[in-house]
Structure 1
Amino acid sequence: MTGKTAGLPELGFDPKAAELFELMVAPVRSWVLLTGLELEIFEHLESPCSARELAGRMGLHPLNTRIFLDAATAGGFLRKEDENYQNLAFVNQYLLRKSPVFLGGMLYNSRYYWLDGLDQMAEQIKKGPLPAQEPKVTEDAMWQTMCQGLAASQRMMITSLAIEAARQVPGHENFQKILDLGGGPGLVGMALVKEFKQAKGVLFDQPGVVREAGKYIKSEGLEARFNTMGGDFTSDDPGRDYDLIWASSCLYFARHDLKAMMKRILEALKPGGVFINLHEGMEKQGTSPSAAVLSMLLTSLRGEPDMMFQKGELARAMAEVGFDPIQTRQVKTPWSVFELELAFKPEA
């Protein structure tokens, strides 16, 4: 007997079943990406190259190199023609070290948070947190990698978003002093200083971070207009009389006393000044945005501090210390959905 099965597509299978099989393959694709980054294979494939040639050049096993390159092609990272492999355009853009928007270092180091320990998930659900395996890197290497990854994401999307938000502020053409709070390499603060020609800026972050940020300031030629402060921005005085303070994905470190943090930010602004803040806002009882929930699953199971704010949590803390008005909207980025807040210090 032939015919359609009730409730199923014409081909006789439920697409959701196909999704389950795709999920089983998804971790393999992730590890193909990470292995390509670890071995720097993508660095050698800007131009077409055979597996044998690549193996000889890099000292790799010829057969397993070919097997891996076929998998990288199937996974959507390479193209293969006449036994030669070559990066797809997005790989050259985001996964080569020479690219100004290189994401490879950040992605590779994020495996500790996103992937390492997946095989221990069931054990941790049954017994509770297991001891964490911290990444074995020097402090200088950690800051360098962190700044490099943040620089790429800031160039890709955050700087333009910050400028667009700042231009919504009445009187933005008169900005004189800008603070980039916890801004890593400081590219957002520098972009704001370049946008508002009369302004000078300050980056306030950990001492190791600002040492690394100095390289970015020099490369932008902004030594005369953009300075740094090294310290603990969750407790130290950031200075006074700022027209604009910018923060993005850094206030988690102050959640132990968020009210005090907001009070310091308020006091650091001029009357009428604005605090512009970009952070995730969890909703649907902690189940959305999905990228944020899934990326923090392993660190949460390990018992590490909660790095997410609930939707509206930061705005409530701002209002509690005296910010008024507060404007909030959601923005979608390649990574996740964020809340963008413009919080004003009342005029004297």
Structure 2
Amino acid sequence: MSLSTPHALQPYWDLTLAAVRADALRIALEWKLFDLLQVPASADLIARRLELDAANTGFWLEALWSMDLLARDERQPAHYRNTPVASDYLRSNVADYCGDAWTFRLRGMRRFGSQLGEQVRAGQPDSQPADMTTTIDNWTAAARLQIAQEQRAVTVDVALRLMARVPEFTQARRLLDLGGGPGLVAIALLRDNPLLTGNVFDFEKTVAVAADNIQRAGLEQRLGVLGGNLATDAIGEGYDVIWCSSVLHFVPDLPAALAKIHAALRPGGVLISAHAEIPADPEHARRVMPYYLSMQMLGRHVSESGGLSEALHRAGFVNIDSYPDVAFAVAPVSVLVARRSAS
């Protein structure tokens, strides 16, 4: 065995080190460090601008350098500058800024982790959350800011690349973005396909966010909004394509929701379902489980690999194409392209 071979415990020591890296990034976002480092600057200059201790600022910048968020040159003292990922996604004034979304996820994961022992002890709740108003308000606020950032920077591009693999998309006329939040995916799909019209469906309060984005995009003549609850309200009919991402985890009755979606498609229509499933091997499951563990413990629908495909078959969908490891924000998902029979 080499002297540099990691100990068997190293992956678990790495867990403790990750918390420090996360906080190094957290304070960089809070203090808008990356706004200052589009041009090279020394630790002393950054310390003066942010009113920090110069020596410890240098150590902090070195930590961010080790995380590939900063590059440094060979000058003495060293000057630091954003790497491409920091420049493209972590400066507060760029179109694809994701700092709020990243911090939102960090806080959510830490809050869940602090309650994990109690969750394991208490078991799953007997019913859905009683305070739906708070749930809807929280989702609407996230749709306006954090989810919008993730859709803009990540989901839109993935959706467009997926649709390029769906032969029916180029001739589609009617789209439903089911649980679409800020509606940025629907907006991108309509821009990509000039034949499309459609709707964004979400809670009444949430579709107001989508409506604002649709108006800003100048697409209000082609794209409308429908407010309601998938479990209880109509979602329309005659759609050629339904995009449904991270929605089915939360429905109280999965077979009923899939039956409603199937009925909303015209014959030959296509559902694109993007939802996490737990892979069968530990290496891939390790990438999915930390994010979706909280949903599992709350009794949400997070199936094992292949489970959602089976549910779609039972609901009457046919000719299902599977993309089991699609890179979405935070954790990979399984994308299923399922069709309603043409006959």
Bin of the TM-score, shorter chain as denominator length: 0.7 to 0.9
Query: Cα deviations across residues 60-80 of structure 1 (Å, max 9, x unaligned)?
Result: 344443332232223332123
- Which of 296, 321, 326 is the aligned partner of 1:332? 326
Q: Distance in 2 between matches of 1:117 and 1:339?
A: 24
Is the counterpart of residue 153 in structure 1 residue 147 in structure 2? no
Aligned to 1:71: 63
Amino acid of the residue matched to residue 79 of structure 1?
A
Are the counterparts in 1 of residues 291 and 331 from structure 2 also a CA contact under 8 Å?
A: no
Q: Distance in 2 between matches of 1:318 and 1:346?
A: 12
Aligned to 2:276: 280
Aligned to 1:248: 245
Superposition map of 1:81-160 within 5 A: 81=73, 82-116=77-111, 118=113, 123-124=117-118, 127-128=121-122, 141-145=141-145, 146-160=147-161
- Which of 174, 177, 198 is the aligned partner of 1:180? 177
Give, in angstroms, the shift of residue 182 of structure 1: 0.9
- Which of 292, 295, 310 is the aligned partner of 1:296? 292
Q: Pick closer, same or farther for the CA change 1:47–1:307 going to 2, 3 Å.
A: farther
Give, in angstroms, the shift of residue 326 of structure 1: 2.8
Give, in angstroms, the shift of residue 253 of structure 1: 1.3
Q: Distance in 2 between matches of 1:139 and 1:18?
A: 38
Give, in angstroms, the shift of residue 128 of structure 1: 4.6
Amino acid of the residue matched to residue 298 of structure 2?
E
Two-structure CA RMSD over aligned residues (Å): 3.1
Give, in angstroms, the shift of residue 260 of structure 1: 0.9
Report how many aligned residue pairs link the two structures: 328
Query: Cα deviations across residues 89-127 of structure 1 (Å, max 9, x unaligned)?
Result: 111112122333222211110013323364665x54885
Are the counterparts in 1 of residues 240 and 270 from structure 2 also a CA contact under 8 Å?
A: yes
Identity %: 26
Q: Distance in 1 between matches of 2:236 and 2:61?
A: 53
Q: Pick closer, same or farther for the CA change 1:248–1:102 going to 2, 3 Å.
A: same
Q: Distance in 1 between matches of 2:199 and 2:295?
A: 33
Q: Distance in 1 between matches of 2:295 and 2:171?
A: 44
Question: Which protein has the larger Cα radius of gyration, Structure 1 or Structure 2?
Answer: 1
Alignment gaps of 5+ in structure 2: 124-133
Give, in angstroms, the shift of residue 261 of structure 1: 0.5
Q: Distance in 2 between matches of 1:267 and 1:127?
A: 41
| TM-score (structure 1 length as normaliser) | 0.82
Q: Distance in 2 between matches of 1:44 and 1:249?
A: 36
Q: Pick closer, same or farther for the CA change 1:62–1:117 going to 2, 3 Å.
A: farther
Superposition map of 1:13-24 within 5 A: 13-14=5-6, 16=8, 19-24=11-16
- Which of 40, 43, 55 is the aligned partner of 1:48? 40
Are the counterparts in 2 of residues 262 and 321 from structure 1 also a CA contact under 8 Å?
A: yes
Give, in angstroms, the shift of residue 199 of structure 1: 1.7
| TM-score (structure 2 length as normaliser) | 0.83
Superposition map of 1:5-20 within 5 A: 8-9=1-2, 11=3, 13-14=5-6, 16=8, 19-20=11-12
Q: Pick closer, same or farther for the CA change 1:15–1:42 going to 2, 3 Å.
A: same
Superposition map of 1:156-305 within 5 A: 156-161=157-162, 163-166=163-166, 168-169=167-168, 172-254=169-251, 256-284=252-280, 288-297=284-293, 299=294, 303-305=297-299
Q: Distance in 2 between matches of 1:85 and 1:158?
A: 35
Q: Pick closer, same or farther for the CA change 1:286–1:54 going to 2, 3 Å.
A: closer
Q: Pick closer, same or farther for the CA change 1:114–1:249 going to 2, 3 Å.
A: same
Give, in angstroms, the shift of residue 289 of structure 1: 2.6
- Which of 287, 292, 302 is the aligned partner of 1:308? 302
SS at match of 2:62: helix
Aligned to 1:33: 25
Q: Pick closer, same or farther for the CA change 1:140–1:269 going to 2, 3 Å.
A: closer
Are the counterparts in 1 of residues 280 and 304 from structure 2 also a CA contact under 8 Å?
A: no
